[in-house]
Homo-oligomer: A and B are copies of this chain.
């Protein structure tokens, strides 16, 4: 009887849960609903064990079956969670990125998504500057005037005049447009279909965010946006 224990940094007294949790993760991450057999193969567990574990998860509503004996999908509990707290979840995921950008740039960082009537701000990370930006969370701003709004237009639905420039550079700017003395740059976080699902932006007084400062900050911003894009799709 083998006890490989090899692949994971396994703690003791949790074999069953560790396994079950792993199965749940696989179901949630899988691009296509797996069957019991596939799961057991991929996880390297006996079918009987897999069946039992999945049964328990199903009883708690964490997993669901397509038919009576069908493939596995995330259960009602997870469906509800996703429908309810999607934007909250995005904000939580992006939080580290916001923090990093705030520290590195010293300016105010925002996470936004496209909404029915304009850009919707989900989260903001401030810095200790006296001349800063007020809290934008919850506020809506027209797409055409904001840097992040332009991202949504350029990478997705609509059109902007600067569209080509924005797409080729990978980020958008808004200088004294939304308000005189207020500037910003924004980079898109892309979804599976290549459209922008959200955007990260750096904003501050035009006095500090000069053209050259923007050039300097752009790579950082794009990098962080790309990181988030990756984190949303792939594993890790």
Within 8 A of B (CB), among A26-66: 28-29, 52-53, 55-57, 59-62
Q: Which residues of B contact A57 (CB under 8 A)?
A: 17, 21
Within 8 A of B (CB), among A181-236: 191-192, 197, 231-233
Q: Is B89 within 8 A of A93, CB to CB? A: no
* Known pairs A74-B81, A92-B79, A116-B116; A53 contacts B157 (CB<8 A): no
Q: Which residues of B contact A197 (CB under 8 A)?
A: 83
Surface stretch bound by B, among A6-14, A98-106, A129-137: A6-14
Q: Which residues of B contact A52 (CB under 8 A)?
A: 13-14
Q: Is A14 within 8 A of B55, CB to CB? A: yes
Copies in the complex: 2
Identify the A interface with B (CB < 8 A): 8-9, 11, 13-14, 16-18, 20-22, 24-25, 28-29, 52-53, 55-57, 59-62, 73-74, 76-86, 88-90, 92-93, 114-117, 140, 143, 152, 156-158, 191-192, 197, 231-233
Interface centre among A13, A86, A88 (most CB of B within 10 A): A86
Q: In the complex, which residue of chain B has the Cβ closest to the Cβ of A54?
A: B17
Q: Is B89 within 8 A of A59, CB to CB? A: no
Q: In the complex, which residue of chain B has the Cβ closest to the Cβ of A118?
A: B116
Q: Which residues of B contact A55 (CB under 8 A)?
A: 11, 14
Q: Which residues of B contact A25 (CB under 8 A)?
A: 60-62, 77
